[in-house]
């Protein structure tokens, strides 16, 4: 094995983060987010990335329960933030 | 026009792509080669750690004026194994039970079967062979001897365990500190700190089991007059215990995790003593003997005190074994005690008190100068007069007798006991920055997330599971 699980995770997190930023900028051009949209979508994106990081790390350390809890504690709020952010952004339009 | 339209569309033009590329590069920095990433994360870690780790000029626990150094006779092991405090029959019984069950008494019970006992015996083997009594707080055991031999002209001693007549002189104190700490790391220590010798933490007297065995009870206790020199400094070393082994508490697999580090620390402190002797200074290597390891470790900046009574280190939590080297070398930069919020967290947490099979750990909210447990009136084993949490070593030792191993449930359950992963370090730092009420929440979350469970025999399977391990290095 060349790369450890954690090294691979962080490499992929870099790509995922970049994709999130690109996505936000792309839709901002289209929908012109206001401050609330930015706040909601930014927080949602951060939580979503953190959720992936946490859950994969927990699986790697062999504590699957912590991974499941991570999906609940960070994943669900991230989805709510992203959906709410999307709603606010579309409503404005 | 068409071009302009395209510019305003949501599609990415070249300039935006470059901007995104820059942002992506910054955010994707985590995808850089591992070595560089390690350096960057270390830097970030140091920077953030600085905000949360406070240092103290003085010993961080309040000490009452009437505090007296602890006697070696009042250590639970010397009482349990060598007949001190004969009025406490229960202590002697716990010692007998423990001695009978350890390594030899197999049970048809997972964690206490022949495999687990064998693993435990192997873990302790080196310590038990070369310094068998150091773990029982007996000084000068085996290779951890007090002897400061001066080699005679022409004498050949390949072990180099003699004091060099020529004293090496370091350029400055920092250089000396760096050399000593690097040597400790080379010989196997995970953490190392240096502090001034402090008589408050030294045993006031010492027990001589040899005299007891030879039927000379009048010679069974001796004083500092036998110590070969006036110690000036104490080098304190800590050894990380295997996370998965400790997670199996309270079984013999956990005992093996502790024993393996007892063997490691015996080796390391002996090597450190020889290193100092060859520099031309006198040194005595110690395990649990000669002085109290935990206050010395606190003074040497290795960690904080805790509810369970163990040291909590910043990196490994309570999952460490401690040892020390007394030396007359004093041209060093001494470390300062640190504080990163562990003791504060203990006020609200109480996971160890919940996990203790025999209720030896107090549920008191605040630390105190005196023990508050039910055996407080016959608690000769507690070093009274220091503001801390007092655990009932009598009950703890009884549990050892029950299990035939050194339990470790408190260590395994502690929220500071985590494998070395980034998300735990992050949580530790957030916790340290948060006020008390948040600690309750953190404790609950720790439990909900599945950490610190004790008595789960599936953890033994996990300990042996080859998945995720590479035994052949591929």
Residues of A within 8 A of B445 (CB-CB) are 69, 73
Cβ atoms of residues A69 and B450 within 8 Å: yes
What is the C-alpha to C-alpha distance for residues B121 and B260, in angstroms, rounded to an integer?
A: 9
pLDDT, tens digit, 9 for 90 and up, residues B397-418: 999 999 999 999 999 999 999 9
Q: How far does A82 lie from chain B, in Å, by closest CA?
A: 20
Residues of B within 8 A of A63 (CB-CB) are 449-451
Kind plus residue range of the DSSP H or E element containing B238: strand B233-240
- The residue written with tokens 């305003």 in the block is B8
Terminal CA-to-CA distance of chain B, rounded, Å? 60
Pick A21's closest partner by Cβ from B10, B27, B419: B27
What is the signed CA dihedral for B415, B418, B424, B430, rounded to 10 degrees?
30
Question: Average pLDDT over chain B, rounded to whole?
Answer: 90
pLDDT higher at B420 or B355: B355
What is the C-alpha to C-alpha distance for residues B124 and B321, in angstroms, rounded to an integer?
A: 13
> Which pLDDT does position B42 carry in this prediction?
66
DSSP state of B283: E
What is the C-alpha to C-alpha distance for residues B172 and B170, in angstroms, rounded to an integer?
A: 5
Cβ atoms of residues B49 and B428 within 8 Å: no
Residue of A2, A3, A7, A10 to mutate when probing chain B, most B C-beta within 10 A: A10
pLDDT, tens digit, 9 for 90 and up, residues B18-45: 444 444 444 444 445 556 656 666 666 6
Task: Please judge whether B34 and A7 are an interchain contact, meaning their C-beta atoms are less than 8 angstroms apart.
Answer: yes
Pick A61's closest partner by Cβ from B30, B34, B421: B421
Q: Token digits for B291?
A: 């002085």
Task: Please judge whether A61 and B16 are an interchain contact, meaning their C-beta atoms are less than 8 angstroms apart.
Answer: no
| Orientation angle between helical segments B34-52 and A5-31, nearest 10 degrees | 80
Section B213-230 average pLDDT: 96
Residues of B within 8 A of A7 (CB-CB) are 34, 37
What is the C-alpha to C-alpha distance for residues B444 and B435, in angstroms, rounded to an integer?
A: 15
What sign for the dihedral angle of Cα B355, B348, B435, B46?
negative
Q: Token digits for A2?
A: 């060349």
> Which pLDDT does position B18 carry in this prediction?
42
Residues of B within 8 A of A64 (CB-CB) are 450
Residue of B17, B442, B449, B469 to mutate when probing chain A, most A C-beta within 10 A: B449
> Which pLDDT does position B19 carry in this prediction?
45
What is the C-alpha to C-alpha distance for residues B274 and B404, in angstroms, rounded to an integer?
A: 35
- The residue written with tokens 């191993």 in the block is B405
Q: Which residues contact B154 (CB under 8 A, 6 or more apart)?
A: none
Neighbours of B445 (CB within 10 A): 15
Q: Which residues contact B458 (CB under 8 A, 6 or more apart)?
A: none
| Residue spans of alpha helices (H) in B214-251 | 243-246
Share of chain B above pLDDT 70, in %: 89
Task: Please judge whether B423 and A54 are an interchain contact, meaning their C-beta atoms are less than 8 angstroms apart.
Answer: yes
Every domain of chain A and the residues it spans: 9-92
Q: Concatenate the DSSP letters of all residues of B47-87 into one string.
A: HHHHHH-EE-SS-SS-B-TT--PPPGGGSHHHHHHH--STT
Neighbours of B28 (CB within 10 A): 19
pLDDT, tens digit, 9 for 90 and up, residues B168-203: 999 999 999 999 999 999 999 999 999 999 999 999
What is the C-alpha to C-alpha distance for residues B334 and B233, in angstroms, rounded to an integer?
A: 9
Task: Please judge whether B451 and A27 are an interchain contact, meaning their C-beta atoms are less than 8 angstroms apart.
Answer: no
Chain A residues within 8 Å of chain B (Cβ atoms): 1, 3, 6-7, 10-11, 13-15, 17-18, 21-22, 25-27, 29-30, 53-54, 57-58, 60-66, 69-70, 73
Q: Token digits for A9?
A: 């995770």
Q: pLDDT confidence of B233, banded at 50, 70, 90?
A: very high
Pick A25's closest partner by Cβ from B20, B423, B450: B20
Task: Please judge whether B450 and A69 are an interchain contact, meaning their C-beta atoms are less than 8 angstroms apart.
Answer: yes
Nearest CA in chain B to A72: B449
Burial (CB count within 10 angstroms: exposed 0-12, middle 13-18, buried 19+), residue B179: middle
Kind plus residue range of the DSSP H or E element containing B281: none
Q: Concatenate the DSSP letters of all residues of B99-132 into one string.
A: HHHTTT---SSTTSSHHHHHHHHHHHHHHHHHST
pLDDT in tens, chain A (93 residues): 789 999 999 999 999 999 999 999 999 999 999 999 999 999 999 999 999 999 999 999 989 999 999 999 999 999 999 999 999 999 855
Strand pairing class (B312-313; B303-304): antiparallel
Give the three-class secondary structure for B93. helix
Cβ burial B29-59 (10 Å sphere, 16+ → b, else e): ebbeeeeebeeeeeeeeeeebeebbeeeeeb
Section B442-468 average pLDDT: 93
Task: Please judge whether B24 and A22 are an interchain contact, meaning their C-beta atoms are less than 8 angstroms apart.
Answer: yes
Cβ atoms of residues B354 and B298 within 8 Å: no
pLDDT, tens digit, 9 for 90 and up, residues B302-341: 999 999 999 999 999 999 999 999 999 999 999 999 999 9
> Which pLDDT does position B49 carry in this prediction?
57
Pick B10's closest partner by Cβ from A7, A21, A30: A30
Q: How far does B132 lie from chain A, in Å, by closest CA?
A: 35
- The residue written with tokens 């250590």 in the block is B75
Cβ atoms of residues B249 and B407 within 8 Å: yes
Q: Concatenate the DSSP letters of all residues of B201-260 into one string.
A: GB-SSEE-HHHHHTT-GGGSEE-GGGSSS---EEEEEEEEPPHHHHTT-SSHHHHHHHHH
Pick A66's closest partner by Cβ from B10, B34, B450: B450
Nearest CA in chain A to B12: A26
Task: Please judge whether B27 and A18 are an interchain contact, meaning their C-beta atoms are less than 8 angstroms apart.
Answer: yes
Residues of B within 8 A of A21 (CB-CB) are 20, 23-24, 27
């Amino acid at each position: 094995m060349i790369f450890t699980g954690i090294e691979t995770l962080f490499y992929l997190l870099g790509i995922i983060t970049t994709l999130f930023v690109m996505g936000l900028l792309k839709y901002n051009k289209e929908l012109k987010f206001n401050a609330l949209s930015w706040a909601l979508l930014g927080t949602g994106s951060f939580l979503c990335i953190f959720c992936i990081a946490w859950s994969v790390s927990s699986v790697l350390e062999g504590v699957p329960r912590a991974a499941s809890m991570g999906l609940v504690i960070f994943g669900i709020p991230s989805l709510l933030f992203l959906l709410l952010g999307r709603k606010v952004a579309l409503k404005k339009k | 026009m068409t071009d302009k339209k395209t510019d305003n569309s949501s599609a990415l033009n070249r300039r935006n792509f470059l901007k995104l590329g820059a942002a992506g590069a910054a955010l994707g920095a985590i995808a850089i080669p591992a070595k560089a990433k390690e350096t960057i994360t270390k830097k970030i870690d140091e920077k953030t750690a600085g905000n949360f780790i406070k240092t103290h000029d003085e010993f961080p626990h309040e000490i009452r004026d009437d505090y007296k150094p602890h006697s070696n006779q009042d250590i639970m092991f010397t009482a349990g194994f060598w007949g001190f405090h004969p009025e406490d029959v229960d202590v002697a019984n716990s010692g007998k039970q423990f001695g009978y069950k350890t390594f030899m008494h197999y049970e048809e019970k997972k964690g206490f079967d022949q495999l687990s006992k064998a693993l435990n015996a192997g873990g302790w083997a080196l310590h038990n062979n070369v310094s068998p009594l150091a773990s029982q707080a007996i000084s000068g055991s085996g290779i951890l001897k007090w002897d400061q031999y001066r080699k005679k002209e022409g004498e050949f001693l390949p072990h180099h365990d003699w004091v060099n007549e020529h004293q090496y002189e370091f350029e400055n104190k920092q250089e000396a500190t760096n050399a000593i700490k690097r040597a400790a790391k080379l010989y196997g220590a995970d953490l190392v700190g240096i502090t001034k010798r402090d008589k408050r933490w030294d045993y006031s007297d010492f027990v001589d089991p040899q005299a007891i065995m030879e039927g000379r009870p009048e010679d069974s206790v001796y004083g500092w007059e036998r110590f070969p020199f006036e110690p000036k400094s104490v080098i304190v070393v800590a050894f990380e215990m295997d996370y998965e082994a400790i997670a199996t508490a309270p079984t013999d697999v956990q005992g093996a995790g502790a024993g393996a580090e007892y063997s490691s620390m015996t080796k390391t402190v002996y090597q450190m003593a020889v290193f100092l002797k060859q520099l031309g200074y006198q040194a005595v290597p110690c395990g649990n003997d000669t002085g109290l390891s935990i206050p010395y470790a606190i003074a040497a900046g290795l960690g904080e005190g805790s509810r369970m009574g163990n040291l909590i280190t910043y990196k490994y939590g309570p999952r460490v074994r401690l040892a020390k080297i007394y030396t007359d070398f004093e041209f060093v930069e001494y470390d300062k005690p640190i504080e990163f919020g562990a003791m504060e967290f203990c006020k609200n947490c109480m996971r160890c008190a919940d996990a203790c099979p025999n209720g030896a750990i107090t549920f008191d909210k605040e630390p105190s100068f005196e023990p508050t447990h039910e055996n407080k009136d016959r608690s000769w084993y507690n070093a009274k007069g220091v503001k801390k949490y007092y655990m009932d070593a009598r009950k703890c030792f009884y549990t050892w007798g029950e299990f035939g191993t050194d339990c470790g449930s408190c260590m395994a359950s502690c929220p500071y006991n985590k494998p070395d992963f980034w998300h735990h370090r992050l949580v530790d730092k957030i916790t340290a920055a948060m006020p008390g009420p948040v600690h309750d929440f953190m404790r609950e979350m720790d439990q909900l997330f599945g950490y610190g469970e004790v008595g789960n025999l599936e953890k033994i399977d996990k300990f042996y599971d080859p998945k995720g391990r590479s035994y052949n290095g591929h």
